[in-house]
Chain A
């Protein structure tokens, strides 16, 4: 019953995609987050070429993705998701719902440090939240294991005695992006035969067998539901063992719930999970070469925890060093230590000394030398001749007492920030639709405005964000507090210990920036009222977000707008999730090729139209909304000045600026301005304001005889120009029709005061 295998040289993420290819999931709901994003990209690539038929749903956030997966799984489908870190935590609320409802699926958790401060590299702080969810947690320490565990996960979760969703956890970057020699099934049918069909006793898709999924269940019933969950986990360990044996027969690759390495005669051992355990095997070999009897314990399953296996495997040991890639502050031993110690404590005869060491947080490298240091600690512990702290961190750095980094450039003075470069003129009622007018100096004089961001930030060459932001800031007088959502502008300006912001800056995760700043605005007003801040102190509060933050953060942003706080929200729209490698966002234009809307024989690019964020925000009734592009004129500067006036006097101002992304538009770095101008000329991105509910067109290419077809704009970007080929003619027409429809609608709105 062996199945033929073929050799490959692939990464962990690529191996998830290879597994998905042969599992043939019905559905994948996802939201991009480093380092798991690639999984959806790779499957999207296969799909665009017609190699898989999996439905891919790019959700508006991980919470939405988890909801989509829950719904899909309830219909008896094979379902996949992939996420990391805060994405996982954002979906966390949904996970016990799905475990409690007993709906199997597979979620690849590519582990990464949980914010904050934001860190995109590997540790297990996200994984440890999984322990409470009721999901099965499988561990994959290498790209090969990632592949195997994904296939095993499907069969395990769907087993009639188990019926649970399954997490497959692999290390971000160290496994997800590490290429290793590995093997995959040659034939998809062998995997299908191994898995068998998905059999569900209940489904939400059979109207002749209606069910109520997710009832309101209080005492005395819920405890019984949870006992069922407990029994399912108890059964899962046995089922896992059996499935792994069956898998080994086909592949010769074996997985025990608890893998042991050179443990037979060992007196001391390490307990490590995932990639660090693989690294530590080399350290064990080296220390053994010196004649010392050491070994390694490495679980392949964390939920259910292999308690019995651990007790049996460790009974000859006199010491065990537990390595933790996450800490539970205040517990003096991370989550793994608690698991291991409770297993050992259950055995009354156990006399093993255990110590815990936290290592490798936030992607800090775990090298063979680090493993050797842990082994050494364990060996010293066996002698019982010295006192070794039970808990500690390895790899921290003390720094130098009483030193602080120097201020390297002058702090901006109030006098520098109040200039005569911009001013606001109130217009008499009836003279114009506008209430106010911004008077702005010529660009030759605006250069005197000190930049609120210092040079040396790490944006890509030709990035439009920073010229766009600076033009907007040129219109702002006085002191500001800025809040940036997670995204390109945030990442490239604040890589610790560096910051490009010369003004006070806050980051919050990109579903929640608007509420965060609204809290600060209100406290500023209240402290001023109480006299805790001087009455003449004046601050302008500005939130800066990408278009991604306006997807995942749309709800909280609308809530903030409805409350009409005195602040500005500025969206820089580069038409995709560029910081994570150019995935589609909801503002991405129809037909654009992105890493999650690839072009192939089965796909023409993004399949739904760009989001009209300006109309959504205008519908909240805030006093000032605008769109703009950077240019050599002063339109954007004027809008900055107006936004500030409205934020000080009336309430929330929202602006959206289109900015060039040469990297992910595949356009020339020098051509940013021309591309933006064409976006305005073809009316894809009209330049207008909505002031107190009245729509004012600032630039009407049609009236000026400058309106061009969308092709004129699209042809300048490598990620769009495929639409000009004859085979995509209908997609192009669909796009042009929608652009024209929105433009006509906007024109009518601008002509009628009631629209």
Chain B
């Protein structure tokens, strides 16, 4: 059954899909948004760890909708739920922490800056920071971002202040400021996609402390579910369909996208014809959708004549350490330990790009400081440990009592993930999800430089923590990957033989097909990329509205 044709069909309602829906709806085009997940309302967001963090409220179950993941092409795939972001209206922006950094000018020309890097498929972007900057301004204003720009060696140029003043921070932030200053580094306020004041009819943050991993019950977190989607629906031109899983994008005889086949919330197959199709399901899932959209014209998957769809997958390189302060020992001397304020909001970017490669790398990244997440089950499972060293009984309860007496300050590293030919998405012919659709298979083969950079950053972060004189500093790891930050599977570029999308994120091979999640990014930058994805989507929408209006 085919539904009436619309101007634009957008698949996905997160950081990429929502700006398109809003701008196209505002411009008067008829838009359908297909979202595979549910449409949660603020009252559905409850501080219930089991609900939010330990079941399929946000993430699909790995035995129903697995990703296959392997490290190296010689290993076996494991079924996993890694590399999913939230499946619901708003996507990953619903349960994000909302660290809203911008990329820096160097991120747009990393290949030119570093030269050829052996073992990496590094490429420059076809646009500059200056071309994206106005759309960063727009994304910050539309979503609602709180922050304060301060000068530092890697500060990206801005046209003005943030739309909202910074959130209140915990007193430990000024301790971090002092520690950094003593070392000649710059402690920067971290901009957040959380509103600090009433903004466009939304209530400000209530400082509840359960932010990342949770939906925001007050709507202060600037997920697209709280900001762009309601505005898009208010245009009257946008038809949002939750519970609708896209199966393929179909093409006509000329090789133009003509419709999206999807399973509706009752499991019935529907066909939605559209003049333009916009794909925005995350870098992994968008690649999967295109690779599953085979036809006589595109036997290897839609827009994949080049064979590049799914290639050059990027996550973010991750490391972290924890500093523990015992309140009973230190509380007297440091009364601020008992302050309940949830936000630290401090970053260090002094090592974003090193002047030479004496440490084995040049492109470093960002350190973000925060209090450890207060989820008690998660914390207790960590305390219990696993394998033969797992604790139970009194030993476990003693650890839990120690935890009660602790405040745990940590940092996270967001370091460059160099693109390699060994890290990519393909689809599995043998493994299908509960809808009967072949699942995404992810192969990861990391560049050794990533680890050198991440380790270096972890060591710098520990220097800051140690200056605060905690009872204990514990390194969690330097070889992690943040798989909710996804990019690169449909690189944009000017050369159709070396990229999937053109500079407007339109497929080189399919003139009415756009991809606007993180897939377009040839390099991921060394910050969380949510704001960049939204800004780019506003940029693409600006272009598309003009193109469609002729």
Q: Do A and B come from one complex?
A: no
